[in-house]
Structure 1
Amino acid sequence: MAVLTSIRKSLGFITKRESFSKILLGTGCLSNVPENTVYGGPKPQDPNQRVTLTNLRQKHKKGEPITMVTAYDYPSALHLDTAGIDICLVGDSASMVVHGHDTTLPITLEEMLVHCRAVARGAKNPLLVGDLPFGTYESSTHQAVDTAVRILKEGGMDAIKLEAGAPSRITAAKAIVEAGIAVMGHVGLTPQAISVLGGFRPQGRNVAGAVKVVETAIALQEAGCFAVVLECVPAPVAAAATSALQIPTIGIGAGPFCSGQVLVYHDLLGMLRHPHHAKVTPRFCKQYAHVGDVINKALLGYKEEVTSGSFPSSAHSPYKISAADVDSFSKELEKLGLSDAASAASAAAEKLKPLNNQV
């Protein structure tokens, strides 16, 4: 009370609590937020800050293409960060690319969460989107919301992606949005539905299929999705969907008329050279590098040098011990009855001595 009385005396011209609050707000004592904004309002894009839905809407409004890459771990996430990619998708395609399965169906929610957390630790700037894996959102809207919440809370994602096609998926998307979670939709080839589609087949190649792609994309927009992935559909169909929507479309095997594009990290880098990966690498993927060839060459070089004994050389044996300590060490080994070990230590020191003198 004494402190409050002192404050009142020092501000003797204030007689009402309302006036006191107004003066404190006006002088910035209670808040440094401008009066006409909520939580600071939109600010100029900082390259060191996370891409937001607001940033994506601004790019879309200006007609600037949106870049998205699918990645599954910390190292690849760091690369996306450095390159300034807009969106990082942690896709259920990890089932095929990382875990070696033939489809996306086997991957579990727990496995997806591991991938999500690893990516979240590496990618500080892209908007992070996590796939809802098969079997974790189809039963009910309650299940869908629960899974989406885990992707954000436990996986560190900013948004989720789900595959559409059936009305129940649209309902799930709407329920997740209403729970306060940003949703990216996915139409066209939806890999989780391969048992219905008859395999990994392009969609929208006839009139009925093309209309379904556009109608499903519109339904996802009406459900509140902030963007829609269009996968493996003819370019004119993707162009029609893009024109019909007010939200961005992200194409993958859908031609050049989408609002943005997405490719898988491993695919665009030409990372893997193996019969399994050749089987699951899509025809539409452009390889911007042949990293797999570099990796194979490096591994063969490593194997050859280890086999020949040229690795590790002195340059890669950096931890030294003085000649005096080697001698004392050898004597201690002799006392322990380890004569062969003592000889080995002394011989190694002698062998490295000329090389050490060159360093």
Structure 2
Amino acid sequence: MSTAKKEYKRITTKTLVDMKRRGEKISMLTAYDYTMAKIVDNAGIDVILVGDSASNVMAGHETTLPITLDQMIYHASSVVRGIERSLVVVDLPFGTYQSDPKEALRSAIRIMKESGGHSVKLEGGKEIKDSIKKILNAGIPVMGHLGLTPQSIYKFGTYTVRAKEEEEAEKLKEDAIMLEQTGCFAIVLEKVPAKLAEEVAKSVSIPIIGIGAGNGVDGQVLVTHDMLGMTHEFNPRFLRRYLDMYAEMTTAFQQYGKDVKSGDFPNEKELY
């Protein structure tokens, strides 16, 4: 496959499928507010995920489960105001789509109408097929999510690698094909063996975006706060920290405090 890169003025769901066909890797990061979204978008990142991980990194919850639909809409609308190029994908939060396809559709419509997001993401396979179909029938693009699905953490009981056993691996492959056939434009594959992830990527024509899924997939996603080193308690093998912002910010805040207490800030040049 060709690896020639093409510049896109606005990333769409079709753009991502074209990128896979061309052999061009897809970059994806999270954002939850206007300022961060503007920086990520200006950096040329293809997809911005308004993830329910906001429950962890923005609100301090232990899991993604507590975040509400209203809160997701708030974060997503803030992100949309900051972007010009990136495709914005918004997570449907826990409890808004799993059991009732009609509720799933209402939730997705609220996100699209009230936030201006471009698409939604749902966790799960055949068990949520009816919800996905209902949303797609309304003309709303859907990104799937398989492997480790954090909204099901109490079912799994652990954040360890998924689909290591043959039975679960086969189900994952079947679910990926089902998601493509149902109409999803892409799938996030989280924390599964690299060989399996590569097999899945080759078995479907839609992009597979990995997080802890090796390099044989069509793109990668990380939580921005993690890759910037703003968080320091979370240290999975798949995380590459590109900065140590925790240390940098701590130093800056400490210096500011010292300058204020010493009377050095503001100085003569900083007065009106």
Per the alignment, residue 83 of structure 2 pairs with 123
Give SS of 1:122's match.
Answer: coil
The counterpart of 1:86, out of the listed 46, 55, 71, is 46
Please say which structure displays the higher CA radius of gyration. 1
Aligned residues of 2:37 and 2:79 also touching (Cα < 8 A): yes
Q: Which residue matches 2:69?
A: 109
1:302 alignment partner, one of 256, 260, 271: 256
The 2-side partners of 1:185 and 1:251 are apart by 12
Matched, 1:282 2:236: yes
Between the aligned partners of 1:147 and 1:293, the Cα distance in structure 2 is 39
Match of 2:266 in 1: 312
1:221 aligns with 2:175: no
Deviation at 1:281, TM superposition (A): 4.8
Matched residues in 2 for 1:282 and 1:108: separation?
A: 26
Partner of 1:292: 246
SS of equivalent to 1:154:
helix
Higher relative contact order (CA 8 A, sep 6+): 2
Match of 2:113 in 1: 153
- C-alpha RMSD of matched pairs (Å): 1.3
* Matched residue, 1:335: none
The match for 1:73 is 33
1:138-217 counterparts in 2 under 5 A?
A: 138-165=98-125, 167-217=126-176
**2:47 is matched by which residue type in structure 1?**
I
- Residue 63 in structure 1 maps to residue 23 in structure 2: yes
Offset of 1:229 from its aligned partner? Answer: 0.4
Pick closer, same or farther for the CA change 1:281–1:171 going to 2, 3 Å. Answer: farther
Question: What SS does the corresponding residue of 2:115 show, helix, strand or coil?
Answer: coil
SS in 2 for 1:80: helix
Q: Distance in 1 between matches of 2:183 and 2:160?
A: 27
CA contact 2:17–2:205 (8 Å) conserved in 1: no
Structure number with higher helix proportion = 1
The C-alpha deviation readout for 1:255-301, integer Å capped at 9, x for no partner, is 0000111011111111234xxxx1x4533110111122111110010
Q: CA deviation at 1:46?
A: 6.8
After TM superposition, the score normalised by the length of structure 1 is 0.72
CA contact (8 A) 1:171 1:223 kept: no
Question: In 2, distance between residues paired with 1:250 and 1:56?
Answer: 10
Q: CA deviation at 1:199?
A: 2.4
The one of 235, 246, 256 aligned to 2:194: 235
CA distance in 2, matches of 1:265, 1:281: 14
Aligned to 1:336: none
Partner AA of 2:231 in structure 1: L
The 5 Å alignment of 1:255-270 reads 255-270=214-229
Q: 1:107-157 CA distances to partner (integer Å, 9 max, x unpaired)?
A: 000110110011001011101100000011123111001111111110110
2:3 matched residue in structure 1: none
CA distance in 1, matches of 2:154, 2:187: 22
Equivalent-residue separation in structure 2 for 1:110 and 1:179 (angstroms): 21
- The residue number in structure 2 matching 1:4 is none
Q: Deviations over 1:340-359 (max 9, x none)?
A: xxxxxxxxxxxxxxxxxxxx
Report the Cα distance in structure 2 between the residues aligned to 1:164 and 1:130, rounded to whole angstroms. Answer: 15
Equivalent residue of 1:102, what SS?
coil
> What one-letter code is carried by the residue in structure 1 that aligns with 2:238?
F
Is the 2:119–2:140 contact (alpha carbons within 8 Å) kept by the matching residues of 1?
yes
Q: Which runs of 4+ in 1 moved over 6 A?
A: none
Q: TM-score with structure 2 length normalisation?
A: 0.95
- Whole-Å separation in 2 of the counterparts to 1:250 and 1:315: 49
Given residue 285 of structure 1, which amino acid in structure 2 is its aligned partner? L
State the identity %. Answer: 46
Cα distance in structure 2, aligned partners of 1:182 and 1:281? 32
Gaps in structure 2 of 5+ consecutive residues: 1-5
